[in-house]
Amino acid sequence: MRPWLGAGRSLERLNELAESRGLRTESGIAVRFVPPANVDRYYEVSVFETGRVATRAESPHDWFNALAWLAFPRTKARINAMHAAEIPRERGRRGRLRDLLTIFDEGGALVSCDDPGLIALLRGFRWKELFWERRSRVKAAMRFLVLGHAVLEQALEPRPGISCKVVFVASGADPDVQAADWLAALPASATPRDLAPLPVFGYPGWLPQSAGAAFYDDTRVFRHPPGVK
């Protein structure tokens, strides 16, 4: 995401970058960012069939969505293609797989890490052990790559309670390709529970408050696993 933050907010500039990156939907159509217009199809179906991503240049939410397309083109195209494939099957009743796709699209992150111990702590909701007791190891061996455009918008006014739902990827390989492959392998029965939760602002140094151990004792933010009090 970082290389694209200086891209500017104009649709013209975003489309220059989209063209230079060769952005395409999985239907093979060039992705272009366009002003919103009334369409008689679902948003995701329209994007899949036309490549036209409705974007309000003045909206941080829409801008971050465009930047996510630039930074994670395969993942965004896969999310879009899966939505477009599911919508006709749903007969007007939204399924849990599309819930997962929406949550990941809006609030997702990739956790790049090869340390099984750190991954186990994250999956186990052991936040203080992870972010405080092993903070030096986390900073050396774990990267968070945020693709959720709603989370990026919220980060403009950061607060500890912001969280992501994550997919784990290996370091040393393209995280965008890995995330797209993970999504492609999901069964039709997949639900949002297949995504691990992450209080993303617990990452050491992201917020000034994280410089003290007590920061990680706030269970309103660093919650226990389901069923544990």
Q: Where are the domains of the chain?
A: 9-96, 102-217
Q: Where are the alpha helices (DSSP H) in 60-195?
A: 60-71, 73-90, 96-107, 116-123, 127-128, 135-141, 149-154, 175-184
pLDDT of 128? 96
Strands (DSSP E) along the chain, which ranges?
32-34, 52-54, 108-113, 142-146, 164-169, 196-198
Pick the closest to residue 201 from 168, 169, 154, 147 (CA basis). 154
Alpha-carbon span 74 to 110, nearest angstrom? 13
CA 167 to chain centre: 9
pLDDT of 122? 97
Alpha-carbon span 144 to 22, nearest angstrom? 25
Place of tokens 């602002």: 201
Alpha-carbon span 190 to 187, nearest angstrom? 6
Helix (H, G, I), strand (E, B) or coil at 63: helix
28 with 50: CB under 8 angstroms?
no
Mean pLDDT in consecutive groups of 10 residues from the start of the chain, 229 residues: 72 94 97 87 91 94 96 98 91 86 97 97 96 96 95 88 94 96 96 94 87 90 76
Alpha-carbon span 204 to 138, nearest angstrom? 8
Q: Which two tokens stand for residue 224?
A: 């226990």
Alpha-carbon span 48 to 162, nearest angstrom? 30
